A and B are shown apart, each in its own frame.
Chain A
Amino acid sequence: MCSCWVVLAFCCLGQLCAGQNLKPQIAAPQLATNNPTLTTVALEKPFCMFDSSLYPNKSYVIYLYAMKELASAISSLVTTTNSKPLNSTFQQTSGGKLGPYKAAMFNVPNCASPPKFTDVGDANKVSDVLKQYLFRVGDDGTCLYDPNFLAVCNPPLTPDTTYRFKYVLVDSTEGIMKDQTLWSDPIKTRRAKLPLKIDTWPGQRSGGMIVITSILSVLMFLLLAGLLASVSSAVMGSEASSAERKHMSQTIQQSELRPQLSSE
């Protein structure tokens, strides 16, 4: 944030800037982190870019033109033959496909007292700071469908498209273009992926799960083996003891018989 501001301050001090050598810049990424989005682009307002062309006692207005990059092959002129700025709209140029359209009109930003970035922390002042510092192209979602809308319409842009922007300084009394910046570097809006493509396969099994499953299976097997062993040893034991008992009862019977026999 601070370094960007230093560069701008440098530029103004140097008085080397004329509009023709400058381009519209995207808003500082430390301030506007969500930029560009699917359908909007936030641009820095042209601070100190037109100072050399401003005369005192005259009123000026800045126009912002936007066009899709492929339109530059067709026509990238923003003025008519007598230096008047083009009055094209979003619908007339099919959203910037056939040529630039006017997206905004605002006052010349104050070079002498730029917005203070330190005020961004204050919830009451941040709206003013943002309004002074940047302009959001594509902000208005309803003006296209509102038949009563008379101002400059700034409808949402198309996703996954490259756009270029230009600021034009216009004398509001004469309606003639006085200065313009270069076309900005190509700025591409975001592309959205389909949620169907998200892969929800969990991948590798976790170590804990493997430990639990394997150890419990082994323990279960050992328990069943132990049960079998004890049941079979009990059965064998009972056979042996029943054989013993039979043998013993036979011996007792025999021994009982012998005294009977001997008594007889």
Chain B
Amino acid sequence: MARSDDAIRILQGLLVFGNVVIGMCGIALTAECIFFVSNPHGLYPLLEATGNDDIYAAAWIGIFVGFALLALSILGIVAVIKSNRTLLLVYIILMLITYAFEMASCITAATQRDFLTPNLFLKQMLERYNKSEAVNNNDKRMTEGVTKTWDKLMLQNQCCGVQGPTDWQEYTSVFRTTHSDADYPWPRNCCVMNAQGSPINLDGCKLGVPGYYNSNGCYDAISGPMNTHAWGVAWFGFAILCWTFFVLLGTMFYWSRVEY
């Protein structure tokens, strides 16, 4: 009897410890997802216009799952210490539901990340940047978002186009319909700017003289934050779920051994 008592005590201790870790991870997950949802790099308009913004949906789910994990971990600690069968069963059922949501969030983030290829952003940039006629209000809002985001991206990161300024020369675009190739082989923001925000030499920029235009593409500046976002949500969630799996198994075993 003393041995099984010891074993029960050890199991209780492990479960309490497991729940403490789950609680802390829940807080961390909430904080991380709030950070991503707050759109620190200003890239959300690009994703919204492509219709591929599900990594943000995954982050939203992550916020609520984090809170749920915190609350449930406290419930779990109370239930394990009191050895109350009803509380433990409630804990297990609710944890399983939270587990399912978090699983959805991880898989969504990982899957949607695969859709964010250079061609996706290239096509959207060519079809929306500086589009003058909008079909409806929603279209207009998305077009303005895309244009502002690209202008800011090209200015801040000293880059041009998705893979380079030749994107503007190789493909026709909405921009090309309103800006002639002779004056604007590429948008003005592709030129190297001075402190006042105007190109240091327009002729050099138009001809492509090295040093007067930005010759590298913006894809790195876009994919870096997107990758951090998607992998942060997906892999951290995955790690939490692996830990939670063991805690839940232990709790189910404990529940089946507890006497009424």
Pick from B231, B249, B253: contact of A223, CB below 8 A: B249
Whether A198 contacts B103 by the Cβ 8 Å rule is no
Whether B203 contacts A192 by the Cβ 8 Å rule is no
Partner-contacting stretch, out of B24-32, B120-128, B149-157: B120-128
- A140 at the binding interface (Cβ < 8 Å): yes
Q: Interface majority SS on B: helix, strand, loop or mixed?
A: helix
- A178 at the binding interface (Cβ < 8 Å): no
A-B contact count, CB below 8 Å? 166
Residue positions of A touching B, CB distance < 8 A: 27, 30-35, 37-40, 42, 120-121, 123, 126-127, 130-131, 134, 136, 138-141, 156, 159, 190, 192-195, 198-200, 202-203, 205-206, 208-209, 212-213, 215-217, 219-220, 222-224, 226-227, 229-230, 233-234, 237
Whether B249 contacts A195 by the Cβ 8 Å rule is no
Per-residue CB contact flags for chain B residues 213-233 toward chain A (1 = under 8 Å, else 0) read 101000000000000000100
CB distance from A244 to the nearest CB of B (A): 13
Whether A192 contacts B253 by the Cβ 8 Å rule is no
Whether B122 contacts A230 by the Cβ 8 Å rule is no
Partner-contacting stretch, out of B63-71, B134-142, B171-179: B171-179
Complex interface: chain A residues within 8 A of B176 (CB):
38, 192
Whether B117 contacts A200 by the Cβ 8 Å rule is yes
CB distance from A185 to the nearest CB of B (A): 20
Q: Taking each of A193, A205, A216, A229, which has the highest tally of chain B beta carbons within 10 Å of its own beta carbon?
A: A216
- Please give me the residue from chain A that is nearest to B208 by CB atom: A34
- Please give me the residue from chain A that is nearest to B96 by CB atom: A223
- Supposing A195-B172, A206-B114 touch, asked if A123 and B200 sit within 8 A by C-beta, the answer is yes
Complex interface: chain A residues within 8 A of B206 (CB):
34
Complex interface: chain A residues within 8 A of B111 (CB):
205, 209, 213
A139 to B114, CA, bound (A): 42
